[in-house]
Structure 1
Amino acid sequence: MFTGIIEGLGKVKSLTKEGTNLSIEIESELASELKIDQSIAHNGVCLTVVALTESSYTVTAIKETLDKTNLNNLNENTLVNLERAMKLGDRLDGHIVQGHVDQTAACKNVSVENGSWVFTFEYDPTIGNLTIEKGSITINGVSLTVVDSKENNFSVAIIPYTYEHTSFNSTKKGDTVNLEFDVIGKYVSRITRGYL
């Protein structure tokens, strides 16, 4: 369980294919505080630490994860948003985030507006996910509020602090991002659609 409040950025140190899996070594200041079997979100994708050094750690993404997220677009030196699992009893500063990406979206526009940035994303609505204005959305692991909600796209406003301390400062038009839709909204949507 996560909150969508990014703790830091990690840099991809190496990528190794192991059958259909991808082993990802991440260089991060958080490495010295981690332990084997710990969950950590990478661009919103919950992965398990399988190896550690003083300055880096390794996680493995399986084929299903690679097929449904933007982790298959990683290269050496790519920056990723990192968040460790929340502690029971901590403040929930973002919103409830599971670390289970629902689908990806394409960045359609980035504009600067009075000291903040507005990012517009387009996604496939046929999967059944939806956004609502002022509702929560997780983009590459970052908890955000939807500003403008349409059938297949939405916008978010990024404040300077978030822009400077997450991978949003390198996100550009055409980039693919991971989306995790609000868990409460997903349950409400499923109930109103009925079970098949």
Structure 2
Amino acid sequence: MFSGIIAALGRITALTPRNDGTPTVRLTVEAGRLSLEDVAVGDSIACGGVCLTVVDKKDNSFAVDVSPETLSCTIGLDAPGPVNLEKALRLADRLGGHLVSGHVDGVGEVLRFDPVGDNRLLEIRAPQALAKYIARKGSITVNGVSLT
């Protein structure tokens, strides 16, 4: 589980096809300001809001395997570039946002992103099949950011 509050902006630096006959790709991610001191292989890190399992770790980078299914229902994990990062919550952590599972249900279409004072108005068209699950004043996660 995650809070939907981004801890750091990382960067996908490489996508490498796996050599085991599966269509899975391995992403190498530079963690930016996200400390990896307490991260071990097998831990979960949300990358762009997607719960991914760390399969390798170096000084300030980690690797995760991403399936074709995950790539088909996300945006931004298929090429090098910036990515929002958040480590999985521990039971003792303060919950400063919402509970976010890190499982992607669909991809919306951004209709508007307009300035409103110091804020922004974001309007997204959700896939019709998911509309019945979206509460009017509930939260939804966009690229790992939990919004109301």
TM (norm. structure 2) is 0.88
User: Residues 28-79 of structure 1: CA distance to partner in whole angstroms, max 9, x if unpaired?
Assistant: 133532211110101110000011111211001112211222245x322x11
How many angstroms apart in 1 are the aligned matches of 2:49 and 2:28? 16
- Structure 2: any 5+ residue segments left out of the alignment? none
TM (norm. structure 1) is 0.68
Which residue pairs with 1:97 in the alignment? 100
Find 2:110's aligned residue among 97, 107, 112. 107
Residues 15 and 23 in structure 1, CA contact (< 8 A), matched pair in contact too: yes
Deviation at 1:134, TM superposition (A): 2.3
1:142 matched to 2:145? The reply is yes
Residues 84 and 144 in structure 2, CA contact (< 8 A), matched pair in contact too: yes
Residues 107 and 119 in structure 1, CA contact (< 8 A), matched pair in contact too: yes
- Structure 1: any 5+ residue segments left out of the alignment? 146-196
Deviation at 1:11, TM superposition (A): 0.5
How many angstroms apart in 1 are the aligned matches of 2:52 and 2:76? 11
Extract structure 1 runs of 4+ deviating beyond 6 A.
none
How many angstroms apart in 1 are the aligned matches of 2:70 and 2:130? 17
Which residue pairs with 1:6 in the alignment? 6
How many angstroms apart in 1 are the aligned matches of 2:76 and 2:16? 13
How many angstroms apart in 2 are the aligned matches of 1:32 and 1:84? 9
How many angstroms apart in 2 are the aligned matches of 1:132 and 1:57? 35
SS of alignment partner, residue 36 of structure 2: helix
Q: Comparing both chains, which one has the higher relative contact order based on Cα–Cα distances under 8 Å and sequence gaps of 6 or more?
A: 2
Deviation at 1:89, TM superposition (A): 2.2
User: Residues 88-107 of structure 1: CA distance to partner in whole angstroms, max 9, x if unpaired?
Assistant: 12222111111111111121
Q: Choose between structure 1 and 2: higher helix proportion.
A: 1
Find 2:59's aligned residue among 54, 74, 77. 54
SS of alignment partner, residue 108 of structure 2: strand
How many angstroms apart in 2 are the aligned matches of 1:136 and 1:91? 18
Identity of aligned residues (%): 38
Residues 50 and 59 in structure 1, CA contact (< 8 A), matched pair in contact too: yes
State how 1:50-89 maps to structure 2 within 5 Å. 50-72=55-77, 74-76=78-80, 78-89=81-92
State how 1:38-53 maps to structure 2 within 5 Å. 38-53=43-58
